[in-house]
Amino acid sequence: MTVFFQQLASASQEWEALSPREREVLDMLARGLVKKEIADRLGVSVETVRTHCAHIYEKLHVNCRADAVAKIVPFGVLPPSTPLDLGDALQAPGSCD
């Protein structure tokens, strides 16, 4: 049980290290949106979304979307804005997009 709480504390600290925009992007990634859709919703370029993703991956110590979502979602760190569709987001953990 102690390991769980250590992982929860770590995920929470990593979540807190993300900027508000990075959290917003990670939330959209977790909901299965692709970078183009995220860029359209945020009114930024796809390259800007790629940069946000790179910063997210670095701060969470992961290499891709699936690993970032898999690391954060189990701990309930993402805000409950809409129901998650983890089918696309977690389809291939460990495989980067």
- Helix 46-60 and helix 2-17, axial crossing angle in degrees, nearest 10: 140
Q: What angle do CA 56, 59, 61 make, to 5 degrees?
A: 100
Q: Please give the average per-residue pLDDT across 12-23, as a whole number.
A: 88
Q: Is residue 95 part of a domain?
A: no
Q: Is residue 97 one of the residues assigned to a domain?
A: no
- Give the model's pLDDT for residue 15: 80
The answer to whether position 48 is within a domain reads yes
How much of the chain, in percent, has pLDDT values that exceed 90?
Answer: 49
Q: How many domains does the chain have?
A: 1
